[in-house]
């Protein structure tokens, strides 16, 4: 990673923060983006070489500014080697109670912002015939879940879009990859929006027992250090087995997952 320029969105906390620190330790130049400038500045101070980090605050909901953001990112060192579309938001509420605008916001941030940023930086990478674009999906990109319809839809969309881009780039030096984490011990559930758009302020037990983001970051860097880059990286605990379970035994999965989610709802009631 020495001398590589890595642009990470959602870098102020959780997975993005852990990735920023991990890349910095490997000698990369960083461009860190999120809404909260104060937290980005705090991150910059924590890095081994703060001067090798560019703070670029942005709100992914305003993704029509993506080309402007890309220009600012390129002004840092003249190129971007790796873009990690990590920024996102969650929600918690059934389809009939969630406000449409909240569901639309989830799609705008989790999916369309990643598309906009990727399209803004892709011509630069193609002109150099090198570069990597990684976009964070989730194990919920493989199956739906109650009260998470828009979130799951956004992650399904990420997989469909960036798998398609992989085929388009297969004869170039640019790589488009997908990262699908399982339960990671972050505050994403706490910050998830309720039906009225207010953060729910409560974490889930699965999230609290999840993998530490620092562990995920280390695993991700190890997997992307290979000569042949993987197209889809799944980093999770036991929940990773749900993906082949759903694929090969869809009917049985539906029965089991329905029972599990019913038990969870009763515990949280």
Catalytic residue annotation: 151
Q: Which strands, in side-by-side order, build the sheet including 29-33?
A: 53-55, 29-33, 5-9, 82-85, 131-136, 174-181, 232-235
């Amino acid at each position: 990673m020495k001398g590589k320029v890595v642009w990470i969105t959602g870098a102020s906390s959780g997975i993005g923060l852990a990735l920023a620190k991990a890349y910095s330790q490997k000698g990369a130049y960083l461009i860190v983006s999120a809404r909260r400038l104060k937290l980005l500045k705090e991150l910059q101070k924590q890095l081994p070489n703060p001067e090798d980090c560019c703070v670029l605050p942005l709100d992914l909901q305003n993704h029509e500014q993506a080309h402007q953001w890309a220009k600012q990112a390129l002004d840092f060192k003249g190129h971007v080697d790796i873009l990690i579309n990590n920024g996102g938001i969650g929600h918690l509420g059934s389809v009939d109670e969630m406000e449409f605008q909240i569901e639309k916001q989830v799609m705008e941030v989790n999916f369309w912002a990643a598309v906009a940023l990727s399209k803004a930086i892709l011509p630069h990478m193609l002109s150099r015939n090198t570069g990597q674009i990684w976009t964070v999906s989730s194990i919920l990109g493989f199956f739906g879940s109650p009260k998470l319809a828009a979130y799951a839809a956004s992650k399904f969309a990420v997989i469909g879009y960036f798998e398609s881009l992989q085929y388009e780039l297969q004869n170039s030096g640019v790589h488009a990859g997908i990262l699908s984490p399982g339960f990671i011990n972050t505050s994403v559930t706490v910050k998830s929006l309720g039906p009225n758009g207010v953060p729910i302020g409560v974490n889930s037990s699965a999230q609290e027992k999840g993998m530490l983001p620092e562990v995920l970051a280390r695993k991700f860097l190890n997997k992307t250090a290979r000569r042949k880059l993987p197209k889809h990286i799944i980093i999770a605990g036991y929940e990773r087995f749900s993906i082949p379970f759903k694929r090969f035994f869809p009917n049985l999965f539906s029965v089991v997952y329905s029972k599990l989610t019913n038990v969870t709802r009763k515990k949280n009631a």
